[in-house]
Amino acid sequence: MKLDHSFAEELTSLASEVKPIKLLNSHLVAFNHELANELGLPIQWQEEALLFAALYSQEGTLNQRPIAQKYGGHQFGHWNPELGDGRGLLLAETCDQYNNRWDLHLKGAGPTPYSRFADGRAVLRSTIREYLASEALHYLGIPTSRALCLITSDEPVYREKQERAAKMIRVCQSHLRFGHFEYFFHSKQPQKLQSLFDYCFKYHFAECAQSAHPYQAMFEKIVQDTAKLIAKWQAFGFNHGVMNTDNMSIHGITFDYGPYAFLDDFEPTFICNHSDPQGRYSFDSQPGIGLWNLNALAQSFTPYLEIEQIKQVLNSYEATLLKEYSTLMHHKLGLIASDKNRETNSNLINTWLEMLAAERKDYSVAFRQLCEFDILGGNQKLREQFINRDRFDKWAKQYAFALQNQGTIQTQRQTQMYQYNPHVVLRNYLAQQVIDQAEEGNFEMFHQFIAALKKPYQEIKEYQKFSAPPPDWGKKLEISCSS
């Protein structure tokens, strides 16, 4: 394994060298063996003493040139140039067997020049939530950063109350955000903006660099990847909660987990972040905010592209998102798309969602139950879930007709639907139970939940407790940005 430090060496104006500070009585409580194997990382790192030596010793492989990155960002629509890695450090970069680049990033490392008087720590609560979410989304097939390991401690930190500090090593293609580009554009530093683009073409957008119009190709790739990502969020009922531009990755991955939530009762206007009373980042606002953020990023491309070129690229966002979303929803309902049935299928999908919203049905459970739909009738169990039986009967008749017309073998269609409608999703009330136990030093439920989230489409007896819809007290738990 070879570790690089290209960001630290080639983008010095965006980096501040900072050494990580060890936590009081640190312990390695989780290590992602599958991810380590995929990336070809040293097997020795699963041993606490050897991992800590790599992180903290003077000769440690992960402690040679750790840096905090500088960036800005639009936070709840307002430009803020005073942002950066306030508690995270880019430790190094590595390449897997396919020559794909990956960042190794330590979250909760301690104060940096961008901490803004904060302690530079992450709390155990938020660290567990990010670990759970990144694994959950990955195994659902949604692009995301990943968690390599979780480190706990006895060090107290203070947020709304006293909590325990923790750390995690996060892995993703890079930690470059929309806010990196925005910072150099708005601070009127064209040479440094150019250096950032050059770096991206060299390491992350090499194919775009070969294009006749490299900047346009790069912007198109970011727009397309972002649109496809948000379409997946909408199809699987995931609410990110804080889509500030400093939380948006240029790689189109889910990034910087805060007050996220998977939908319980289907409420399109659901807000998972109690710090967002106006609902800027509500579930149904995410597609529009994605485009808003891309418009903000687009300003950084104005030195290189004509306005009409930028508009042309941005205009592709909606069509890409709708196409990806439609494809996923067809899969979730077992429908086969064609020009002949496009309108009929769209109406079936939209009416199904309207029925779920009208009666506040559990989003994931309802879709999983739909996998059992019988075109010959006898759908009493599903029918009894709805108060408005007449509306359900009318829809079910149309749905059965559409399924029959497309000629799919029923067992085959049901099997395919099970592969797009998870049995296990990450519920906030379950995550809170994991956190409560972990704060007492018990990580048994954490490991069980991770194991269940790795097989979200399978019904496994020992993981049944993770598949039930939440009790009333477990719905709409208030989640804050504090971490």
pLDDT confidence of residue 482 = 58
Quick check: is 246 catalytic?
A: yes
Within-domain flag for 295: no
Q: If residue 72 lies in a helix (H) or strand (E), which one and from where to where? A: strand 67-75
Distance CA 346, CA 33 (A): 42
Write down the pLDDT at residue 19: 97
pLDDT of residue 477: 79
**What's the mean pLDDT when you consider all of the chain?**
96
Q: Is residue 160 part of a domain?
A: yes
On whether residue 60 sits in a domain, the answer given is yes
Q: How far apart are the C-alpha atoms of 289 and 109, rounded to whole Å?
A: 31
In 10 A of CB 427, how many CB atoms?
A: 24
So what's the pLDDT on residue 481? 60
d(CA 78, CA 245): 10
- Judged by DSSP in three states, 187 sits in coil
Residue range 284-295: mean pLDDT, rounded: 98
pLDDT value for 377: 87
Q: What is the mean pLDDT of residues 322-341?
A: 95
Task: Please tell me the distance from the alpha carbon of residue 375 to that of residue 400, in angstroms, as a whole number.
Answer: 5
Tell me the per-residue pLDDT of 350-377, one tens digit each, with 9 for 90 and over.
999 999 999 999 999 999 999 999 999 8
CA 374 – CA 321 distance, rounded (Å):
31
Q: What pLDDT does 160 receive?
A: 84
Q: Which residues pair with 101 in a beta bridge?
A: 95
CA atoms within 13 A on the CB side of 192: 17
- Considering the domain boundaries, does residue 369 fall inside one? no
pTM value? 0.97
Find out whether 104 and 62 touch, Cβ atoms under 8 Å. yes
Q: Where are the alpha helices (DSSP H) in 299-388?
A: 307-314, 316-333, 342-358, 363-370, 380-383
Taking residues 413-432, report their average pLDDT: 96
Mean pLDDT throughout 374-382? 92
Confidence of residue 52 (pLDDT cuts 50, 70, 90): very high
Instruction: Give the total number of structural domains in the chain.
Output: 1
Kindly report the CA angle at 375 between 373 and 377, in degrees rounded to 5? 85
The answer on pLDDT for 258 being more than 70 is yes
For residue 67, the enclosing domain spans 3-178
pLDDT tens, position by position, 168-203: 999 999 999 999 999 999 999 999 999 999 999 999
Query: Is a pLDDT exceeding 70 seen at residue 483?
Result: no
H helix count then E strand count, the chain: 18, 12
- Residue 173 domain flag: yes
Q: Is residue 122 one of the residues assigned to a domain?
A: yes
What confidence score (pLDDT) does residue 474 get?
87
Would you say 172 and 102 are in contact if contact means Cβ atoms under 8 Å apart? yes
Q: Closest by alpha carbon to 46, among 33, 55, 37, 56?
A: 33
119 falls within a domain: yes
- 340 or 412, greater pLDDT: 412
pLDDT band at 317 (very low <50, low <70, confident <90, very high): very high
The confidence band for 348, taking pLDDT boundaries of 50, 70 and 90, is very high
The answer as to whether 154 is a domain residue is yes
Catalytic residue among 246, 256, 264, 362: 246
Which residues of 189-334 form beta strands (DSSP E)?
Answer: 238-239, 261-262
